[in-house]
Amino acid sequence: MATMNETIVALSSGGLPSGVAVLRLSGTMATVAIRTLAGSVPPERRASLRVLKDHDGQIIDRGIVVFFPGPDSVTGEDLAEFHLHGGKAVVAACLAALTALPDVRLAQPGEFTRRSFINGRIDLTEAEGLADLLAAETEGQRRQAVMQAGGETRALYEGWMKRLTFCRAMLEADFDFADEDDVSDDVAADVSREISDLLAEMRGYVSHAHQGEIFRNGFSVAIAGVPNAGKSSLMNALARRDVAIVSDIPGTTRDLIEVSLDLRGIPVRLIDTAGLRDSPDRIEQLGMDRAREALSHAGLVLHLVPSDDAMELTLNDLANEAPVLKVRSKSDLGTAQDGELAISTRTGEGLDELVERIAQIAAEAAGDPSQLVPVHTRQRDIIGQAILVLSDCQDDLPLEIYAEVLRSASERLGALTGQRGVEDMLDVIFSQFCIGK
Ligand SMILES: Nc1nc2c(ncn2[C@@H]2O[C@H](COP(=O)(O)OP(=O)(O)OP(=O)(O)O)[C@@H](O)[C@H]2O)c(=O)[nH]1
Ligand SMILES: [K+]
Ligand SMILES: [Mg+2]
């Protein structure tokens, strides 16, 4: 990672051309940069209209300049914003003029956010929330990310750490001051009650994490069945575009084909798979392997059974724990049995009802987004480790060892917010960001 002495600059707004483009520049050269391009530094935090000139005195653009002095800026450093007309040449000229200044260079992805973290403006959970917020595509994802970016997750984790620290302090005070054979049972009992409460809370939190993941990554719905059941046709109908090849040749689909849908704010990943049958074709076999793999990870399996075909597969074993919803396809070619969900991509029969059912099942799996805790896999792993350490606490442990276990657990939790042992994680986390963030 490049050093913090350098001042970084990037286009922070979206693709060009656009109405307005915002360049952000962070670091010690911020005031020099403003003075060089805009003539003088405007009052702090005030949007000021300026003529921006390059190093030869040629006008680049007229735009708004804002100066945010550190350490109260988003990055914790002196920060300048240039709001320009969003043309490619305008932005290129302004970036060229800025990077021509000594110690000013283009930012790497996530570098602004990384500086916010290093300067203590945000913690890791907030950084992860920010990354999610930028990536959010559905309303549910946005709400979840906002909670995390706003520091609610941080507050929760810090609360846990405080409770652990308090318990440790009680234990340590006890073995420092009590005389040897009079170690207070009361303290040990209080601590052990508090730890078991905390453990219950942490376990409950982690069990919600799976639901949180549905909001982050989407609820996966795999479409499966015999060849020519109409799987790809259904995929195209639900996606409202031709994503998958449809033909009357059985064994058309081989690769998994995935589209993302937004069903009532819940992101759903719909996966079309190869038809399952005995086939000597090597490629088709590979396709079926992928199909089985997809079924085993799906949140819901749609089992398409064509109306004109007597053969029926059993998919329950392949689907792991996911529910299997039987759907009678090509309903225009036969009559469905009572209570069966029948669809036809030819006539459109049953498609709305199917979407309704998928949305219902996805919503049940995802839970109420307002109740959800946003938990990244990274966070879940760490909490899992801390739970393991704490579960090892036996009441009859010598107090010194008990205190040591608590210290070790709270050390682990420290990695959640980035207070401890996360150097190697930083690149992973910040590389999720785009340049300019
Ligand atoms: N009559 C009728 N034909 C359909 C319907 N849906 C699909 N078909 C036809 O059935 C044939 C197979 O459709 P696909 O969508 O390719 O079937 P698939 O299950 O993806 O097949 P594989 O990828 O080979 O496993 C095509 O000729 C489609 O036009 C339907 O609802 N009614
Ligand atoms: K086919
Ligand atoms: Mg297909």
In our burial notation (b when 16+ CB lie closer than 10 A, e otherwise), range 259-286 reads bebebebbbbbbbbbbbbeebeeeebee
**Residue found by looking up tokens 């998994």 in the block:** 256
β-bridge partners, 10? 24
- Model confidence band, residue 1 (pLDDT cutoffs 50, 70, 90): very low
Cis peptide before 306 (omega within 30 of 0): no
Per the CB < 8 A criterion, the answer to whether 27 and 33 are in contact is no
Q: pLDDT for 247-285, tens place per residue?
A: 999 999 999 999 999 887 888 999 999 999 999 999 999
**Mean pLDDT value of segment 188-200:** 89
On whether 7 is known to bind a ligand per the annotation, the reply is no
Q: Which two tokens stand for residue 265?
A: 């704010």
Nearest CA to ligand 1 atom 7: 230
Q: Is the pLDDT of residue 390 over 60?
A: yes
Using a 6 Å cutoff on CB, does residue 278 contact ligand 1?
no
381, with CB counted inside 10 A (0-12, 13-18, 19+), is: middle
Q: Which residue's CA is the closest to the ligand 1 atom numbered 23?
A: 253
Q: Please give the number of the atom of ligand 1 that sits closest to the Cα of 249.
A: 24
DSSP string, 61-100: EEEEEEEE-TTSSSSSS-EEEEEEEE-HHHHHHHHHHHHT
Query: Which token pair is 407?
Result: 């210290």
Taking every pair of C-alpha atoms in the chain, what is the biggest distance, in angstroms?
A: 87
Q: Which ligand 1 atom is the nearest neighbour of the CA of 245?
A: 16
Domains of the chain, earliest start first: 7-107 (3.30.1360.120), 128-214+376-430 (1.20.120.430), 218-369 (3.40.50.300)
Q: What is the ipTM of this complex?
A: 0.99
Distance 229 CA to ligand 1 centre (A): 6
Q: How far is Cα 30 from Cα 67, in angstroms, rounded to an integer?
A: 8
Give the ligand 1 atom nearest the CA of 235.
15
- The answer to whether residue 100 scores a pLDDT higher than 90 is yes
pLDDT above 70 for 73 = yes
* Cis check: omega of the bond before 17, within 30 degrees of 0: yes
Q: Tell me the CA–centroid distance for residue 271 and ligand 2, in Å.
A: 15
